[in-house]
Amino acid sequence: MTPATAPALLRPEGRTLRADDRPCFADVRDAAARLAGHAHLTPLLRSRSLDALAGCELHFKAEHLQRAGAFKFRGAANAVFSLTPDQAARGVVTQSSGNHGAAVALACRLRGIACTVVVPHGAPHIKRAAIAREGARIVDCEVAQSARDAATARVLAETGGELVHPYNDARVIAGQATATLEMLQQAGHPADGRPALDVVLAPLSGGGLMSGTAIAARGVDPRIRPLAAEPEGACDGHDSLKNGALIRGRRADTVCDGLRAELGPLTFAILQDHRLEVLLVSDAEAVAAMRLLAERLKALVEPSAAVPLAAVLKHRERFAGLRVGIVLSGGNVDLDALPDLFALAAPP
């Protein structure tokens, strides 16, 4: 594993974090304070049998138990709670095929402000229902990113509302980073002077969680190595970082419905600075890991959330003997789809 420099691009003191700022570790601490009492302090789960299987010490940050069922609430609430009263009065707009939409809707309900979510056709039923349950207005659109962007722009123009982008937003990144900050606090301090964890893994999609994970990990201890895991069928993040140029417009083909987004300019820049390495796994490997999490950890997570464990199991030699943190990103899986999903995994 090669070393990486931690960017420390501090904003001018005293100014509120804006969507297009580059978030720093101080912003993560601010977010943690802002979320206290609103976000769940989710448990850090262990399983001896999974440790034995992986050959390392696994610490699972149970964000599938977060409010609205995913880490997304942390970013959404940090953005929504930090709006000025003027901004809040005009309401919030976002686009999401699922967890982020429900999270923003919940955060807006808690603050008592209007919320519109642009949802592409084909979004999982369970995720669409969660958005509706929180009382947000849903605007349907086509699946292509260009169609989502056009619909979002239309709603923004209509309402004058504030865009809370699912990942390409410094406030969202700083909020999502608090999952890793908490995980490192909960993992404690080994007696041998090593950091709380040697490696922290998160799934890579639009890059918000991964950017936050890298900023939080390096901020707590520069020796902690952030690593990403991504499905082979949506490997734009892997390819963008390898080629040093942002790839956009590809069609994702993966059952990991939470990982179909593309990196944005902000998250790409942050992850480039961290020289982030991305491990790829197949859908079958992701679903096998999801099944293991259900069997051994009794954690029902969505396929996207199992991608980092799949990467650890695929690259056991990379993690041998290490203390490894994994963000279990979300648990919003359609129970009726479980048999079909499990059929994708190689027989045990």
CB atoms within 10 A of CB 55: 15
* Euclidean distance between CA atoms 236 and 254, whole angstroms: 12
Q: Find how far residue 194's CA is from the centre of its chain.
A: 26
Does 335 bind a second copy (CB under 8 A)? Our answer is yes
Should residue 346 be labelled a site residue for a second copy when binding is judged by CB under 8 A?
no
Residue closer to a second copy by CB (options 126, 252) is 126
| Nearest one of 65, 122, 135, 62 to 96, comparing CA atoms | 122
- What minimum distance in Å lies between the beta carbon of 6 and a second copy? 32
Of the two residues 5 and 49, which places its CB atom closer to a second copy in the complex? Answer: 49
Q: Which stretch binds a second copy (CB under 8 A): 141-149, 186-194, 257-265, 294-302?
A: 294-302
CA separation for the pair 139, 129 (Å, rounded): 13
Angle, vertex CA 185, rays to CA 177 and CA 216, nearest 5: 25
Length of the chain (residues): 348
- Number of residues binding to a second copy, judged by CB under 8 A: 26
Give the integer Cα–Cα distance in Å for 206 and 339. 28
Beta strands in 1-47 (DSSP E): 44-45
- Identify which range of 9-17, 23-31, 45-53, 222-230 contacts a second copy by CB under 8 A: 45-53
- What is the C-alpha to C-alpha distance for residues 39 and 296, in angstroms, rounded to an integer? 26
Query: In the complex, what is the shortest distance from the CB of residue 43 to a second copy, in angstroms, rounded to a whole number?
Result: 4
Which is nearer to a second copy, 102 or 281 (by Cβ)? 102
User: Is residue 317 at the binding interface for a second copy, with CB under 8 A as the rule?
Assistant: no
User: Which one, 54 or 93, has the nearer CB to a second copy?
Assistant: 54
Q: How far apart are CA 85 and CA 87, in angstroms?
A: 6
Does 146 sit near a second copy (CB under 8 A)?
no
DSSP secondary structure string for all residues of 80-127: HHTS-HHHHHH-EEEE-SSHHHHHHHHHHHHHT--EEEEEETT--HHH
Token reading at 181: 């900050």
Which one of 11-19, 40-48, 172-180, 202-210 is the stretch in contact with a second copy (CB under 8 A)? 40-48
- Does residue 294 bind a second copy (CB under 8 A)? yes
Of the two residues 72 and 274, which places its CB atom closer to a second copy in the complex? 72
141 lies in the site for a second copy, by CB under 8 A: no
Q: In the set 297, 312, 313, 324, which binds a second copy (CB under 8 A)?
A: 297
Pick from 49, 157, 223, 265 the residue near a second copy by CB under 8 A.
49
- Residue by residue, DSSP assigns 42-64 as --EE--HHHHHHHTSEEEEEEGG
- Asked if 125 is part of the footprint of a second copy (rule: CB under 8 A), the reply reads no
- Please tell me whether residue 109 binds a second copy under the rule CB under 8 A: no
Scanning 95-103, 255-263, 275-283, 298-306 for contacts with a second copy by CB under 8 A, the matching segment is 298-306
Instruction: Give the type of residue at 103.
Output: A
Among 18, 48, 121, 125, binds a second copy (CB under 8 A): 48
Quick check: 298 binds a second copy (CB under 8 A)? yes
Q: Is 339 in the site for a second copy (CB under 8 A)?
A: yes
Cα angle 282, 198, 309; round to 5: 20
Interface residues toward a second copy, by CB under 8 A: 40, 43, 45-46, 48-49, 64-65, 67, 69, 126, 133, 291, 294-295, 297-301, 331, 335-336, 338-339, 342
